[in-house]
Amino acid sequence: MTMNSVMASINSFVWGPVMLAFLVGTGILLTLRLSGVQLRQLPHALKLVFSPGDDGAGDITPFQALTTALAATIGTGNIAGVATAIYLGGPGAVFWMWVCALFGMATKYAEAVLAVHYRQLLPDGTMQGGPMRYLAQGLGQKWLGVLFAVMGSIAAFGIGSMVQSNSVAVALESTLAVPSLYTGVVLGILAAVVIIGGIKRIGHVTAKLVPIMAVLYVVAAGTILVLNWEMIPAAFALIFEHAFNPTASSGGFVGASVAMAVRFGVARGVFSNEAGLGSAPIAHAAAKTSSPVRQGLIAMTGVFFDTLIVCTMTALVILTSGLWDSGASSSALTAAAFQAALPQSGGLIVALSLAVFAYSTIIGWAYYGEQCIEYVFGLRARTPYRYLFCLLIVVGAVQKVAFVWDFSDTMNGAMAIPNLIGLVGLSGVVVKLTRDYFATNSSIKRP
């Protein structure tokens, strides 16, 4: 049995029915306990994103915390991940990505609230928070906090390092004939320049890079959808039809059951927006704020921007192109869809977008990984971890696509399990903090 088949078997077990039910079920539980805060308070949350922060303790502004989290989520999941979900689960997978995002907004809210509430000041003057902190201090289970931190530090090598460089290498090699090794080396050097500067440099870079890259990609995708507007109703029909009915084989598509649509829709949805993984709250814990709930509201907009806007636009571009069943997968499918609509520049747009998206994800996840390793081994582990992370960017660029994705999915699942236990166990704390916040801010409609 090859390493690829072993990893694929482990991945299938980790992301089986129990895990998917746990992820979505946690989001449903939090949605019910918080009375649908992600829907009731979305307008208020969007206002907070663009409003000045308060004078609370922290390392970066609330907006920089959001863009750092978005830098880690708006990445290959939006380009390669959506395409992979459609390739493996059919158009119906997109519907389950939406479901994952809808409940994931409540999950992301709770994660950030707990991260800020239980964060601590480190000896070097920086702030640290996240699942490792609220599992240990809030739930009283330090071993779970250590388990999350160990898994998180390893997962960063997959989702935050190797997957990103691998996807960029595939795209640049297919469109511009750039050797994969060259791509990996350049990405590794560019990442090191920012990563070694720590969270403050990361926050400054992402606050400028993320809004620009997201707007440019959305404009390009929006242009294609305007050109293909007549096909949009049929694309939505495909999504809803195959969300509940098997997708028959056609062209290069081998077919998919409803179970496959659910599995790959949820798995790729989580890969894209990271709700439930416990990664984004590590960034939000560094925000200069005195209100856990305020930062939680800002945090949940990340899922809205990432999945409900950017991933949806990518999916519609693929489906309206008529190429979703061509047999292409990953970033190659997205590139082909863009190229079909914009023959002069479509493939190049995807390749460059993927490169910039992946770069932002790399620097965001480098911070997550180092915070996890610091929790276990202390500040002395920071520098060696940063250099190892950058080295694996190069390694990932020349690996097989299937192995890299399966490794990342497996590590994500290993992170999510202790985090979800903490969210369920501390859901009462989230509810109390939420009620106190809206009781104090009586002018805001209570959830």
**What was the pLDDT predicted at 119?**
94
Q: What is the mean pLDDT of residues 67-90?
A: 80
Q: State the greatest distance between any 2 C-alpha atoms of the chain, in Å, as a whole number.
A: 62
Q: Is residue 442 part of a domain?
A: no
Find tokens 């109703």 and name the residue.
233
How far apart CA 166 and CA 32 sit, in angstroms, is 39
CA 348 to chain centre: 23
Q: Is residue 438 part of a domain?
A: no
**What was the pLDDT predicted at 4?**
67
Q: Is residue 333 part of a domain?
A: yes
Q: Is residue 443 part of a domain?
A: no
**Which domain, by its residues, includes 185?**
8-432
Q: Is residue 2 part of a domain?
A: no
Q: What is the CATH number of the domain that holds 364?
A: 1.20.1740.10
Average confidence score pLDDT of the chain? 86
Roughly what angle, to the nearest 10 degrees, separates helices 17-33 and 258-273? 60
Q: What size, in residues, is the chain? A: 447
Q: What is the mean pLDDT of residues 138-157?
A: 92
How far apart CA 348 and CA 216 sit, in angstroms, is 13
Q: Is residue 447 part of a domain?
A: no
**What was the pLDDT predicted at 225?**
94
Q: Is residue 229 part of a domain?
A: yes
Q: What is the mean pLDDT of residues 86-91?
A: 88
Q: What is the pLDDT of residues 4-27, one digit of tens each?
A: 677 777 777 777 778 878 888 999
Q: Is residue 441 part of a domain?
A: no
Query: Given a cut of 70, is residue 185 above it in pLDDT?
Result: yes
Helix (H, G, I), strand (E, B) or coil at 5: helix
Number of domains in the chain: 1
Q: What is the pLDDT of residues 348-365, one digit of tens each?
A: 888 788 788 888 888 888
pTM equals 0.88
Q: What is the pLDDT of residues 399-427, one digit of tens each?
A: 776 666 677 778 777 888 999 999 999 99
